[in-house]
Amino acid sequence: MKKILVAGFLAVSLTIPAAAFAAGTPDFSKVKVALVPGGAHPYFQPWIVGGKQAVTDFGIGATTFNETGEWDQTKQNAALDSLAAQGYTAFGIFGVSPTDINTTFENLKSKGFAVGSLASCPAGTVNKADFCLSTDTGQAAYLAAKAVIKQMRGKGNLVHLTGNAVDANTVRRIAGVKKAIAETKGKVKLLTTITDIDKDLQTAQKAVSDLLAAKGKKINGIVTTAYNPAVASTEGVGRTKLPIKVIAIDDDKKILNAIAKGIISGTVVQNPWGQGYVGSYVLAALNSKACTMKKSGLYVDSGSFLVTKANLKTYDAQRLAKSKSILKDFKTKYLTCA
Amino acid sequence: MKLTRKITSILSDQRVVLSIITLALFLFFGLKNKAFFSADFVLFPLLRDAATITVVGLAQLCALSIGHLNLAVGRMAAVSAMATGYSYQYLGFSLPLGVLVGLITGALLGALTGWIVVKSQVNAFIVTLAMDFALLGFVTFIYVTFTPAAAFTTKPAGMDFWRNTSLAQYCIAGVCGPKIFPMMIFPMIVALLLVGFMYGKTRLGRELLLTGSNLRAAKLSGIPVDRRVITAHIFSGTLAGLAGVMLGFTNGSFSAAIGSEFMLPSFLGPVLGGTLLTGGSVAVFGTMMGTLLTLVIRQGLSVQGIGLETLNIALGLVLLLALSLGQIQKMFTSIRSRGRT
């Protein structure tokens, strides 16, 4: 899985003209950027490619990718500390615990490091990192739910499949889906929200299997806001051939194939490559003292895109354009550079 | 000949072997990459984590002392931390009062577990496993129902002090403490002293160990074994609660994730230190050394830039080492006894 994703994003990145966005870049050669997800997950693999591309385009000293956090905040903190000890001075972090990560950000910033919150912002309204470049998880879930409701012709029973119930991002996703359902004024009912099934694909497959066996005929639509449930529901609906509309998340090969074959209606893709690429640039700009944030802790949406059969072949270009646009916004609106 | 006997005598003590291995690995990692000696980024956080995990190890040690396993140690920590977080967020409790709430919660959970074990006569393994599942559901329900972001985030005055402060900030006659020692080691030291004193110097401790060593003999000796089983679980729950609160302080909030990674380290520290899984023998200081060893290996490899898979292989090897140490110890004991005869 990792190899496929890395190869895919490598192919995408090679199509970008070298130094395409790099005009007028200050000297970042002494900056070492660490991109640190909460743990191993296919979603973050494009960060590696985005980070490497940023090294090529902007002359950053180095970027590294460290996934040894194992979805435990204590272990992620230890990984960050060991990277700091190795000389990394700028950190792009997906915090394991959105409620604890501000403490980690504060700790790193107090030591003079540049810190970006990537792919997830801290819970609450305060962000102690220099910036947050992330999918608006609530908005993405809302977008996905609206899309599936449209496919359901605005009525019927909807099921929401998602990740860890006690994760602040899941709380936002559940709220986003509920918001879209509320707008139908009772025409669409939330049959159930199944949480805690993003641990691995097997867990998700079992949950989807049980769901379809027990309530398959009552379900008109499924919206998934986590990676493994998305793959599992794609497989499940394809296998059972039930007339259920599915909007998945992310662009796993199985999901894209299912969209092409008309098994599922679409997927909401995020922009992890852009997070790694633009995030690395901004972190290097801040750590080298070439630039400062106009507003510390600023939230920037890294973009989420609805992909259906109609834009299956063009969405990646749309995503790349979004990355360019975010980079431009940072350079012209969000950063003050000497 | 005398020297050889003296060396074998020293090496037959598992704590000594563990200390030598830990020190050797510490120096090895440091000499290989000087970054490992960084006080700010490696040693201070390592000791802060070691403090919490040692207390978790002591919680497991209390259950192991009577030959039981506490599989709910992590979830007891989670519920205790949750009670502390709730008391800060909704009841406006001060820091020490919130800690007390956490400790009492842990003690009550331990008492309930012990009581179920005694009354049902079901193996502690099964009871604590069931307790773990029940508490997992309870924790999820409370956080989802009572908090907007699945965590209690109110920080009472003094919480950051425990997280960030080192002994370097305390000076006597111009001499300051070492920068590498976090304040968080003090709760660990208190726990170590109390548990060590109890098992080493008190009648209660001896009764607990005898209960673990031979239940029937303990009964025949007039030891109230049912009460001792409950007592051991109360100690286990209280220490798990303390560890949960310590992790909440370290992380900066009280969330359901607290304790979810406690299970393996809770066994690793005591077993590496020389505590028997079958009961009757505990190694309090050894628990701290076992914990330190695992953290030194993990952080040492991490500073070398080693990937996730290798890290886990190395930690697996530590488990094997735990078993081997027992055998090595036996070997030295046997050599020593042969030397005497």
CA A55, CA A316: separation in Å to the nearest integer? 21
Domain annotation covers residue B2: no
Strands A156-161 and A114-118: unpaired
B151·A97 Cβ contact <8 A:
yes
B180 touches A at CB < 8 Å: no
Residue whose token pair is 């079958």: B278
The whole-number average pLDDT for the span B180-191 is 96
Q: Higher confidence at residue B340 or residue B94?
A: B94
How far apart are the C-alpha atoms of B27 and B139, rounded to whole Å? Answer: 42
CA dist B127 and B112 (Å) reads: 10
CB B93 within 8 A of CB B283: no
What's the mean pLDDT in B311-335? Answer: 71
B308 contact A CB<8A: yes
pLDDT of residue B307: 74
Residue B127: give the domain boundaries.
Answer: 14-329
Weakest mean pLDDT among B20-24, B195-199, B304-308: B304-308
Q: Which helix (H) or strand (E) holds A193?
A: strand A188-194
What's the total number of domains in chain B?
Answer: 1
What's CA A293's distance to the chain center, in Å? 23
Give domain status of residue B316, yes or no. yes
DSSP states along A69-89: TTT-HHHHHHHHHHHHHTT--
**Contact by Cβ (8 Å): A131, A297:** yes
Inter-chain contacts counted by CB atoms under 8 A, chains A and B: 107
- Enter the DSSP assignment of B210: H
Q: Which residue of B144, B251, B298 is in closest CB contact with A166?
A: B144
Which residues are bridge partners to B152 per DSSP? B254
Which residue segments constitute the domains of chain A, with CATH numbers given? 2-135+271-303+316-337 (3.40.50.2300), 137-269 (3.40.50.2300)
Q: Which pLDDT value is given to residue A15?
A: 47
Q: Hey, which residues does A337 pair with through a beta bridge?
A: A291
Inter-chain CB proximity A111 and B40 less than 8 Å: yes
Asked if B255's CB is within 8 angstroms of A97's CB, the reply is yes
Tokens in use for A270? Answer: 């995020």
3-state secondary structure of A191: strand
Tokens 């070439």 belong to: A290
Contact (CB, 8 A) for B214 and B206: no
pLDDT on residue A315:
92
CA-to-CA distance for A50 and A272, rounded, in angstroms? 8
Residue B322 pLDDT = 63
Count CB neighbours of A25 within 10 A. 17
CB of B33 within 8 Å of a chain A CB? The answer is yes
Here the CATH number for the domain that contains residue B266 is: 1.10.3470
Residue B57 lies in a domain: yes
CA-based nearest distance A48→chain B, Å: 14
Residue B39 DSSP one-character state: I
Chain A positions touching B296 (Cβ under 8 A) are none
Q: Is residue B1 in some structural domain?
A: no
Structure tokens at A249: 């998340």
User: CB distance A72–B261 less than 8 Å?
Assistant: yes
Q: What is the pLDDT of residue A68?
A: 87
Please give the Cα distance from A330 to A326 (Å, whole number): 6
Ramachandran angles phi, psi of A269, nearest 5°: -100, 150
For residues B77 and B194, the answer to whether their CB atoms sit within 8 Å is no
Q: Can you tell me the distance from the alpha carbon of B18 to that of B272, in angstroms, rounded to the nearest whole number? A: 8
Task: Select from B41, B256, B303 the Cβ nearest to the Cβ of A166.
Answer: B256
Q: Is residue B86 part of a domain?
A: yes
CA distance B276 to B282: 7
Chain A CA closest to residue B308: A68
Q: Do residues A162 and A137 touch, judged by C-beta distance below 8 A?
A: no
**Do A49 and A276 meet the contact criterion of CB atoms below 8 Å apart?**
yes
- Return the pLDDT at A9: 47
Out of A73, A87, A124, closest to residue B251 by CB: A73
Q: If DSSP codes are grouped into helix, strand and coil, which group holds residue A90? A: strand
Does B308 sit within 8 Å of A68, measured CB to CB?
yes
Higher pLDDT, B335 or A49: A49
Determine the average pLDDT of the residues in B199-204.
Answer: 96
What is the structure's pLDDT at A14? Answer: 44
pLDDT at B148 over 80: no
Alpha helices, H only, chain B: 2-11, 14-32, 44-65, 73-90, 95-120, 124-146, 159-164, 185-201, 203-213, 215-220, 225-251, 263-273, 284-303, 308-340
Q: Do B143 and A81 touch (CB under 8 A)?
A: no
Angle between helices B263-273 and B308-340 (to 10 degrees): 20
Computed over every residue of chain B, the mean pLDDT equals 90
B86 pLDDT more than 90: yes
Whether the CB-CB separation of B245 and B129 falls below 8 Å is answered with no
Which of A252-274 are b and which e, b meaning 16 or more Cβ less than 10 Å from the residue's Cβ? Answer: bebbbebbeeebbbbbbbbbbbb
Give the C-alpha separation, B247 to B84, whole Å.
Answer: 12
DSSP A5-48: HHHHHHHHHHTSPTTTT-TT----TT-EEEEE-SS--GGGHHHH
Q: What is the mean pLDDT of each run of 10 residues along chain A (338 residues)?
A: 46 46 73 95 92 96 92 92 94 92 93 95 90 91 94 95 86 94 96 91 93 93 93 91 92 89 90 96 96 95 91 92 96 93
Question: What residues are paired with A131 via a beta bridge?
Answer: A116, A298
Has this prediction a pTM greater than 0.80?
yes
Note the pLDDT tens digit of each residue in B25-37.
Answer: 899 999 999 999 9
Contact partners, residue A180, CB within 8 Å, separation at least 6: A141, A142, A145, A146, A149
Name the nearest CA neighbour of B258 among B91, B86, B112.
B86
Q: Which residue shows structure tokens 């009550």?
A: B108
Of B35, B40, B299, nearest to A78 by CB-CB distance is B299
Residues in A closer than 8 angstroms to B298, CB to CB, are 78
| pLDDT at res. B258 | 93
